[in-house]
Amino acid sequence: MGTVTMEKLVSLCKRRGFVYQSSEIYGGLSGAWDYGPLGVELKNRVRDFWWKEMTQLHDNIVGLDAAIMMHPKVWEASGHVANFTDPMVDCKKCNSRFRADHIDLEAACPVCGNKGTFTEPREFNLMFSTNLGPVKDDSSIVYLRPETAQGIFVNFKNVLQTSRVKIPFGIAQVGKAFRNEVTTKNFIFRTLEFEQMEMQFFVRPGEDESWFEYWKNSRIAYYDRLGIRKDKLRFHQHGPDELAHYAKDAFDIEFEFPMGWQELEGIHSRTDFDLGRHQEFAGKDMQYLDPADNTRYLPYVIETSAGLTRSVLMVLSDAYEEQELSEGDTRVVMHFHPSVAPVMVAVFPLVKKDGIADLAKEIEQGLREDFTTFYDQSGAIGRRYRRMDEIGTPFCITVDYQSKEDQSVTLRFRDSMEQVRVPITELGERIRTEIRTYERV
Ligand code: ATP
């Protein structure tokens, strides 16, 4: 008891409507998942938390939402057509397929246990392609974007000319990306279709190293604000053989998932590689005219690239706790940061009669404008609390007989299970303060 495993998370996510297997009634599609009523709330809120952090709280970062399908030349220029490959091997005995860089090729096959059965590694391009229009030939190929970043690079000049930003500045984007992964496993960790939250920060060449440091510090601090435990996060610097074709330097932020330490976000120093390549392939001037000294240059880029769906898995893994409250009495509690909890406030009438349910309903409706709320009048109060603990609802309000007399209610906190009496008129302000000052236990 106690440790979080992938099985426990998958089961809770299914049971409570966070995440379902895609096309489950047909036996599922491996590597694809659907977000249920609570999952979509959680995902949207993690996205909003990032968006606020990366745009609203800065005066020099603007947003963008580019199309998933782009001109095919984009992916030639970016290097994805030539380089966006993973090495793949098959086991000749059991036909299992692996990423060659994820297993020891000298060891036995992890599935069937035979030795010396792997094929030679073959490079496999991860981009999904489709055809535009009725004719399926090479001239009609378009790709589903494997990263959102290129939408930002090709719009660099548009944004510059239309939004009065000056270097250093950033462009942020959240959106779907698609990769035909050799192996998809570990639930929503690595999927065919996922969402990325990327920000490209354009700087003067020579200032890239200090901005790289700035973004490393800023991004790790963000996870603290999101309520993720510090000891579950670490940096991993890419060695020379790990660096992507565009990168001068790269650090991953890794999280300790149930299956071990894995990448959550990449912080990449991309130099002027992308803008330079688009300048060359599109034949358009991508330089920046710096009003500070009238020089022209191709800006250098620091990229922060986080997976949204992978962040949801992180938030779920970090939140999960099984607690033994007393002999034989246990609860599962999800310690979500209140800002991202799918339900923020649940309201219960202690009993359904004597106008108590009406008052509870009225309180719940009054809180809707500011918080996501849930009304529940069924079952024993203790069970209603436990159901809310399991979906990570940070605040529960119980309306009882006394409430009708003195217009106060019980406010119960998820993590400490402490209960306090609060006047109805002060509920909104009290909850807002609790959210602002929340600290992960
Ligand atoms: P890997 O080497 O593990 O395949 P990567 O280093 O190619 O990943 P990036 O291209 O840096 O990954 O992608 C940035 C972020 O996008 C990752 O840190 C991750 O959070 C997310 N991501 C990448 N691929 C997937 C995927 N298949 N499913 C879910 N999230 C993904």
pLDDT of the residue at 1: 57
Task: Tell me: do 310 and 362 sit in the same domain.
Answer: no
Ligand 1 proximity of 263 Cβ (cutoff 6 Å): yes
Q: How far is the CA of 382 from the centre of ligand 1 (A)?
A: 41
Task: Tell me: do 386 and 428 sit in the same domain.
Answer: yes
Q: Does the pLDDT value for residue 210 go beyond 90? A: yes
Question: Element (H or E) spanning 270, and its range?
Answer: strand 260-271
pLDDT of the residue at 135: 83
First to last CA, the chain: 19
Which of 83, 184, 190 to probe ligand 1 with, by most ligand atoms within 8 A of CB? Answer: 190
Q: How far is the CA of 215 from the centre of ligand 1 (A)?
A: 18
Ligand 1 proximity of 311 Cβ (cutoff 6 Å): no
Q: Does the pLDDT value for residue 332 go beyond 70? A: yes
Q: Does the pLDDT value for residue 245 go beyond 80? A: no
Short-list 221, 173, 218, CA closest to 200: 173
Task: Tell me: do 301 and 374 sit in the same domain.
Answer: no
Amino acid identity at 144: L
Domain ranges, residue 369? 343-436
Number of structural domains found in the chain? 2
Task: Tell me: do 175 and 310 sit in the same domain.
Answer: yes
Ligand 1 proximity of 190 Cβ (cutoff 6 Å): yes
Task: Determine the Cα–Cα distance for residues 224 and 233; give it in Å rounded to an integer.
Answer: 9
With 0-12 / 13-18 / 19 or more C-beta atoms within 10 angstroms meaning exposed / middle / buried, residue 401 is exposed
Which of 126, 310, 312, 317 to probe ligand 1 with, by most ligand atoms within 8 A of CB? Answer: 310
Ligand 1 proximity of 310 Cβ (cutoff 6 Å): yes
Is residue 303 very low, low, confident or very high in pLDDT (cuts 50, 70, 90)?
very high
- DSSP annotation of 52 reads I
Task: Determine the Cα–Cα distance for residues 213 and 210; give it in Å rounded to an integer.
Answer: 5
Taking residues 59-69, report their average pLDDT. Answer: 96
Task: Determine the Cα–Cα distance for residues 270 and 281; give it in Å rounded to an integer.
Answer: 18
Q: How far is the CA of 371 from the centre of ligand 1 (A)?
A: 32
Task: Determine the Cα–Cα distance for residues 247 and 88; give it in Å rounded to an integer.
Answer: 23
The alpha helices in 196-266, defined as continuous H runs, are 208-225
Angle at the Cα of 164 from the Cα atoms of 159 and 169, rounded to 5 degrees: 70
Task: Tell me: do 429 and 353 sit in the same domain.
Answer: yes
Ligand 1 proximity of 194 Cβ (cutoff 6 Å): yes
Q: What percent of the chain has pLDDT over 70?
A: 100
Ligand 1 atom at shortest distance from the alpha carbon of 190:
28
Q: Does the pLDDT value for residue 174 go beyond 60? A: yes
Task: Tell me: do 363 and 262 sit in the same domain.
Answer: no
Which of 305, 313, 316 to probe ligand 1 with, by most ligand atoms within 8 A of CB? Answer: 305
- Do residues 323 and 333 lie in contact, with contact meaning Cβ atoms separated by under 8 Å? yes
Q: Does the pLDDT value for residue 195 go beyond 90? A: yes
Task: Determine the Cα–Cα distance for residues 16 and 20; give it in Å rounded to an integer.
Answer: 10
Q: How far is the CA of 208 from the centre of ligand 1 (A)?
A: 23
Both tokens of 250, joined, read: 């790269």
In a domain, 64, yes or no: yes
Q: How far is the CA of 185 from the centre of ligand 1 (A)?
A: 13
Ligand 1 proximity of 304 Cβ (cutoff 6 Å): no
Alpha carbon 210 to its chain centroid, in Å, reads 26
Q: How far is the CA of 266 from the centre of ligand 1 (A)?
A: 8
In a domain, 337, yes or no: no
Is residue 266 very low, low, confident or very high in pLDDT (cuts 50, 70, 90)?
very high
Ligand 1 proximity of 181 Cβ (cutoff 6 Å): yes
Task: Determine the Cα–Cα distance for residues 285 and 288; give it in Å rounded to an integer.
Answer: 9
Which of 234, 252, 263 to probe ligand 1 with, by most ligand atoms within 8 A of CB? Answer: 263
In a domain, 248, yes or no: yes
In a domain, 273, yes or no: yes
Short-list 141, 127, 140, CA closest to 82: 127
> At 351, which CATH number?
3.40.50.800
Ligand 1 proximity of 305 Cβ (cutoff 6 Å): yes
Ligand 1 atom at shortest distance from the alpha carbon of 311:
20
- DSSP annotation of 54 reads I
Task: Tell me: do 361 and 285 sit in the same domain.
Answer: no
> At 200, which CATH number?
3.30.930.10
Ligand 1 proximity of 307 Cβ (cutoff 6 Å): yes
Task: Determine the Cα–Cα distance for residues 212 and 285; give it in Å rounded to an integer.
Answer: 25
Short-list 321, 322, 327, 374, CA closest to 346: 374
In a domain, 126, yes or no: no
Return the bridge partners of 98, or none.
89
Task: Tell me: do 52 and 170 sit in the same domain.
Answer: yes
Taking residues 219-240, report their average pLDDT. Answer: 96
Taking residues 119-129, report their average pLDDT. Answer: 91
Ligand 1 proximity of 196 Cβ (cutoff 6 Å): yes
Short-list 314, 53, 26, 75, CA closest to 177: 75
In a domain, 109, yes or no: no
Name the domain boundary from 249, 281, 316: 316
Name the domain boundary from 316, 351, 369: 316
Is residue 101 very low, low, confident or very high in pLDDT (cuts 50, 70, 90)?
confident
Both tokens of 350, joined, read: 């202690």
In a domain, 121, yes or no: no
Taking residues 403-429, report their average pLDDT. Answer: 97
Ligand 1 proximity of 317 Cβ (cutoff 6 Å): no
Task: Tell me: do 425 and 354 sit in the same domain.
Answer: yes
In a domain, 351, yes or no: yes
Task: Determine the Cα–Cα distance for residues 36 and 41; give it in Å rounded to an integer.
Answer: 9
Task: Tell me: do 180 and 284 sit in the same domain.
Answer: yes
- DSSP annotation of 144 reads B
- Phi-psi map region of 269: left, alpha, beta (phi>0 left; psi -120 to 50 alpha): beta
Q: How far is the CA of 61 from the centre of ligand 1 (A)?
A: 23
Short-list 232, 348, 380, 247, CA closest to 302: 247
Q: How far is the CA of 60 from the centre of ligand 1 (A)?
A: 26
Task: Tell me: do 281 and 214 sit in the same domain.
Answer: yes
Task: Tell me: do 269 and 179 sit in the same domain.
Answer: yes
User: What would the pLDDT profile of 7-49 be if each residue is shown by its tens digit?
Assistant: 999 999 999 999 999 999 999 999 999 999 999 999 999 999 9
Q: Which residue has the tokens 């220029």?
A: 77
Short-list 341, 422, 334, CA closest to 374: 341
Ligand 1 atom at shortest distance from the alpha carbon of 307:
20
Taking residues 401-423, report their average pLDDT. Answer: 97
Coarse DSSP helix, strand, coil percentages of the chain, rounded to the nearest 5 percent: 35, 30, 35
- DSSP annotation of 23 reads T
- Do residues 32 and 178 lie in contact, with contact meaning Cβ atoms separated by under 8 Å? no
Ligand 1 proximity of 266 Cβ (cutoff 6 Å): yes
- DSSP annotation of 146 reads S
